[in-house]
């Protein structure tokens, strides 16, 4: 149990970053700076799976207080045997500071590697069964599912530590807490834009996240939350963007994070969406991350 998500005390706020994939030493230094400022959890996306364990290995060297969460790795990209072996190697080098988020993606991702599935829940359940049979199985307390629908979320609560949902609102967080009860770990992704210019902030949100609104899994979940065809247009309506992406001054962004926490989240994984001119020479939004760490202290 020493590696459980709860016991690792990831804090109330973590940094979710696309930029920390394949970044090398600048990323390690950035993660070290975040740790110095109280951010323990670094969330990195699985993408196509390539390089994810090397990136995790590097980031874990940033600080002995840094935990890396894969948020999330598609089950079709790594066989359970390989995943268990690589996490075991990381544990030997760094201790149990890696949390594995798993996602089912879609039929196209399965077909790309010659696999098929008829039920997302069954596919993930079978993968968890395979992991449990490995010589170095990954404890349920160190896994999360990138769940959206109620069935997948229930599987997460039953067989992993909990859920890491993407593209959701505090209303969704509240619904999941009501369904899953007090024990499940709920860590929603929350995108933010540090801009008080509504037009600019929404443009940045649409540029970096708008494509996901076209994916069936997210569209279906957003419909359950009450959004309609008028919201689910390419890039999303203003109403939808404002519900999914926090923008404004520091207090406005802090307010959204508090809304998730008040709705029952244990932790919020915050993705800063910087305008191009806001990133440093290594493509890292260091100044925005500094702002985030400052406001995280007030939450």
Strand order in the sheet with 13-16: 185-186, 162-163, 143-145, 98-103, 67-74, 41-44, 13-16, 268-272, 189-193, 245-247
Residues 6+ apart with CB under 8 A from 64: none
End-to-end CA distance of the chain: 28
Residue 280: predicted pLDDT: 64
Residue 214: predicted pLDDT: 94
Per-residue pLDDT of the chain (299 residues; tens, 9 = 90+): 345 666 457 999 999 999 999 999 999 999 999 999 999 999 999 988 889 999 999 999 999 999 999 999 999 989 999 999 999 999 999 999 999 999 997 677 766 777 777 799 999 999 999 999 999 999 999 999 999 999 999 999 999 999 999 999 999 999 999 999 999 999 999 999 999 999 999 999 999 999 999 999 999 999 999 999 999 999 999 999 999 999 999 999 999 999 999 999 999 999 999 876 665 657 899 999 999 999 998 88
The fraction of the chain above a pLDDT of 90, given in percent, is 86
Domains in the chain: ranges and CATH: 13-293 (3.20.20.30)
Distance CA(68)–CA(99), nearest Å, equals 6
Residue 2: predicted pLDDT: 43
Angle, CA 6 vertex, CA 5 and CA 12 arms, to 5°: 95
Angle, CA 222 vertex, CA 216 and CA 224 arms, to 5°: 105
Distance CA(31)–CA(261), nearest Å, equals 24
Distance CA(255)–CA(117), nearest Å, equals 41
Rounded to 5 degrees, φ, ψ at 62 are -60, -40
How many distinct helices (H) and strands (E) make up the chain?
12, 10
The DSSP line for 145-187 is E---SHHHHHHHHHHSSEE--SS--HHHHHHHHHHH-SSSEE-
Q: What is the per-residue pLDDT across 182-192, written as a single tens digit (0 to 9) for each?
A: 999 999 999 99
The DSSP line for 260-278 is HHHTT-S-EEEEE---GGG
Q: Please say whether the beta carbons of 102 and 127 come within 8 A.
A: yes
Residue 111: predicted pLDDT: 66
């Amino acid at each position: 149990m020493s590696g459980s998500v709860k016991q690792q005390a990831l804090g109330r706020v973590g940094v979710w970053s696309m930029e920390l994939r394949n970044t090398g030493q600048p990323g390690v230094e950035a993660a070290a700076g975040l740790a110095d400022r109280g951010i323990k959890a670094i969330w990195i996306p699985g993408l196509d799976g390539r390089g994810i364990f090397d990136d995790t290995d590097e980031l874990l060297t940033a600080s002995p207080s840094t935990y890396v969460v894969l948020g999330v790795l598609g089950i079709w990209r790594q066989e359970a045997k390989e995943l268990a072996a690589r996490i075991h190697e990381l544990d030997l080098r760094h201790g149990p500071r890696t949390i594995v988020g798993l996602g089912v993606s879609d039929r196209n991702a399965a077909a790309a590697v010659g696999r098929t599935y008829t039920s997302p829940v069954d596919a993930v359940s079978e993968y968890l069964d395979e992991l449990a049979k490995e010589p170095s199985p990954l404890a349920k307390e160190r896994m999360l599912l990138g769940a959206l629908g109620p069935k997948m979320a229930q599987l997460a609560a039953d067989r992993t530590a909990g859920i890491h949902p993407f593209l959701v609102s505090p209303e969704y967080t509240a619904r999941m807490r009501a369904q899953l009860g007090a024990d499940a770990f709920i860590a929603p992704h929350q995108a933010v834009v540090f801009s008080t210019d509504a037009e600019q902030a929404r443009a940045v949100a649409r540029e970096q996240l708008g494509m996901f609104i076209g994916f069936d899994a997210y569209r279906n979940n957003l419909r359950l939350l009450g959004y309609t065809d008028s919201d689910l247009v390419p890039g999303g309506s203003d109403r939808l963007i404002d519900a999914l992406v926090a923008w404004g001054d520091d207090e406005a962004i802090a307010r959204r994070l508090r809304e998730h926490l008040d709705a029952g989240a244990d932790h919020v994984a915050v993705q800063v969406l910087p305008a191009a001119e806001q990133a440093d020479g290594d493509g890292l939004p260091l100044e925005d991350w500094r702002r985030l760490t400052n406001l995280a202290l007030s939450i």
